[in-house]
Amino acid sequence: MRFRPEQHLRRPAEIRAVRDQGRRVDARAFTVWWKDREPVPVTGNAKPRVCVIASTKAVGRAVRRNRAKRRLRELFRQHQQGVPARCDLVIVARSGAADWPMAELQARFAEACTRITPSSA
């Protein structure tokens, strides 16, 4: 599946809402924060949205940060069908995101996706 532009979570207020009001899953090389968003009646096929964050303090300089973000975006692209449709994700990279084998990262992300449960509201 493609990672479409409408699946990017870009607005700082939305990212902050996910971090403040959402829940968290620790996957050692990264942390996944998620929050259900309100359904929009106009569009029937809502897709999950994601924002990937990598700080200098946690991951390192620009080359390592960009590599970690690329790898985490690819994980989301490959496993987005496992994420609930109206879910906003913020994935925060740690130092292992740039170095761990991709198979290990995929296993951690797949496990994190199983722990994401939509609220019963």
Indicate the Cα dihedral angle 33, 69, 62, 94, nearest 10°: 50
Q: What is the pLDDT of residue 3?
A: 76
What are 51-107's pLDDT values in tens digits?
999 999 999 999 999 999 999 999 999 988 888 888 999 999 998 999 999 999 999
Structure tokens at 66: 């960009």
Structure tokens at 27: 């996957």
Any idea how long the chain is? 121
This prediction's pTM: 0.89
Domain 5-115: give its CATH architecture.
Answer: 2-Layer Sandwich (3.30)
What are 9-28's pLDDT values in tens digits?
999 999 999 999 999 999 99
Task: Tell me the domain boundaries of the chain.
Answer: 5-115
What is the enclosing helix (H) or strand (E) of 33?
strand 30-36
